[in-house]
Structure 1
Amino acid sequence: MKKTLISIIAGCTLLAGASSAFAATTTVQKTVNFRTAPSTSSSTYGFIQSGTQLTVLEKVNTYWLKVQSGSKVGYVSTNYVGAVSGSTSTSNTTSSSKTATGTASKIVSTAKTYLGDFTYKWGSEPWNTSYKYSDCSSFVQLVFNKKNGFSLPRSSIQQSKVGSFVSKSSLKAGDLVFFDTNGDGVINHVGIYIGSGQFIHSSPTNHVGTNTLTSGYWSSHYKTARRVI
């Protein structure tokens, strides 16, 4: 382990001489796993020590950066690094956009595989109940966290505070959409926007299903949306 850590630190030192080829950098705030893929379940190259400056190749999503350390390219969690200074090149920005689109498509495809599944039960978690029960926010966690490597919090209120705000008119597939079904101003339901004015969610009335945001009950109870991809 010690040799791996020393090797990565040395690689980062060598990288400094070539850093002018890239515009974006970040500094590790806490020792972080240097992973082979943007997922907590992926394997690691080792650790990168606090204080190490990294070259940022791509912002994969809210939770992951693609970085270069020496001769290796890998991924680090944004929870362990500082703000990114500068910007990635045009080609990397385009790549990031394509990656986000691909991730969103995967999120939607994953969610749709559960259409008709789960009996709604508040507080239940499908990975703990042999996939028989779910509530709205645990369904979102199943799709994003368990199947696609994100780290979203448990409740709909907590989930409404991550990522970035997006207006209803600017929704994209993969965005989280939130509702106030009690009319008291408090968010208590969440779903995943899938495009064309539709969203998918674990609902008390139709298991996992789709509904429209353009009219009717869910449109009138719509509260806000967040982009986490």
Structure 2
Amino acid sequence: MSIKPILRKIMAVGLCTAIGFGAISIGQASLLPKASAATVYETKVTSGVNLRASASTSGRVIRLIPTGESIHVISQVNSYWLKVSDKRGNTGYVSANDKYTNHDASSSSGSSSSSSSKTDRVVDIARSYIGRVHYDFGTRNPSKLIFDCSSFTEFVFAKVGVDLKWGTKSQKNQGSYTNKSSLRKGDLVFFDTIGSNNKVINHVGISIGGGQFIHNTPSKDGLAINSLTSGYWSTHYVTARRVL
């Protein structure tokens, strides 16, 4: 009996088996779910807020999202509501009031500000709180918009994803040094308001360009814009840091 027909059968079976397993393997691979990009929870809750099933104050409360938890903003429904997801897998709606989160509406809107640089956004955000913020030394209360100088800068920069520490002693060491002649929008500017400027830093503001800066100050019980090139603040200027 010739062995060739048997070999041909074995080879045929082997080939079919290989093709069969290959088909199964390929078929199984095609059934596997595609990997999805990890969700980035970019927005921090600054004051406990209800996650609701619908964009309405009468919507069912899914849960209370506590202060400090991060969420992902899917979209801004309108000026009152954000559609968000949390780390537990819930999707729902939270108030768009900026006392509840550090979400920057301008970064997700279709306005021209959405395409502007972070430096411009920082200035725009800071300016938007003129007449709304109050000053209280040693206070950081985003829900009531009460800050001291450094908790206000911390609050503003958090809205563009920059983590500043609270306190001028910490902020004066963040980022990189820049000299006064090279200041640009968004730079932190520091001052000594004690006596005759012994370079003891105790106040901070944000450069807004044009030789000016914006800061939260007790003399105004809120935000003020002052000159860096003349007057009191120019003589009490100490240094600047670039964090953007």
How many pairs were matched up? 142
Query: Which position in structure 2 is the counterpart of 1:148?
Result: 160
- The unaligned stretches of length 5 or more in structure 1 are 1-6, 9-33, 44-98
Q: Deviations over 1:23-53 (max 9, x none)?
A: xxxxxxxxxxx7648767465xxxxxxxxxx
Counterpart residue number, 2:233:
218
Supply the distance in 1 between the matched residues of 2:166 and 2:204 (Cα, whole angstroms): 11
- 2:241 & 2:156 partners in 1: Cα distance? 16
Could you say what secondary structure the match of 2:185 adopts? coil
The equivalent of 1:177 in structure 2 is 189
* RMSD, matched Cα: 2.7
Q: Give the structure-1-normalised TM-score.
A: 0.56
Task: State the TM-score, normalizing by the size of structure 2.
Answer: 0.52
Q: Please state whether the residue corresponding to 1:225 is helix, strand or coil.
A: strand
Distance 2:176 2:42 in 1: 19
Query: After TM superposition, where is structure 1 displaced by more than 4 Å over at least 4 residues in a row?
Result: 34-43
Bigger fraction of residues in helix: 1
Percent sequence identity is 44
Q: 1:221 to 1:143 in 2, by over 3 A?
A: same
Find the counterpart in structure 1 of residue 206 from structure 2: 192
Within-5 A mapping of 1:24-103: 36=40, 41=70, 43=72, 102-103=117-118
User: Which residue, 215, 219, 228 being the options, matches 1:205?
Assistant: 219
Do the aligned partners of residues 35 and 106 (structure 1) sit closer, same or farther apart at CA in structure 2, a change above 3 Å counting?
A: farther
- Partner Cα separation in structure 2 for residue 38 and residue 214 of structure 1: 37
Higher RCO (CA-CA < 8 Å; seq separation 6+): 1
Match of 2:147 among 134, 140, 148: 134
- Structure 2, unmatched stretches of 5+, are 1-34, 45-69, 73-113
Checking the alignment, whether the CA contact within 8 Å between 2:191 and 2:199 is kept in structure 1 is no
Partner residue of 2:134 out of 119, 133, 158: 119
Instruction: Tell me, in whole angstroms, the C-alpha distance in 2 between the residues paired with 1:151 and 1:212.
Output: 26
Q: 1:165 is matched with which residue?
A: 177
Deviation of 1:157 (Å) = 1.6
Give how far 1:205 is off. 1.1
Aligned partner of residue 200 in structure 2, secondary structure: coil
Q: In structure 2, how many angstroms separate the alpha carbons of the residues matched to 1:196 and 1:172?
A: 9
Assess if the C-alpha contact under 8 Å between 2:186 and 2:242 holds in 1. Answer: yes
The answer to whether the Cα contact below 8 Å between 1:39 and 1:148 also exists between their aligned partners in 2 is no
Between structure 1 and structure 2, the one with the greater Rg is 2
Shift of 1:148: 2.0
Residue in structure 1 matched with residue 24 of structure 2 by the alignment: none
How far apart are the structure 2 equivalents of 1:120 and 1:166? 27
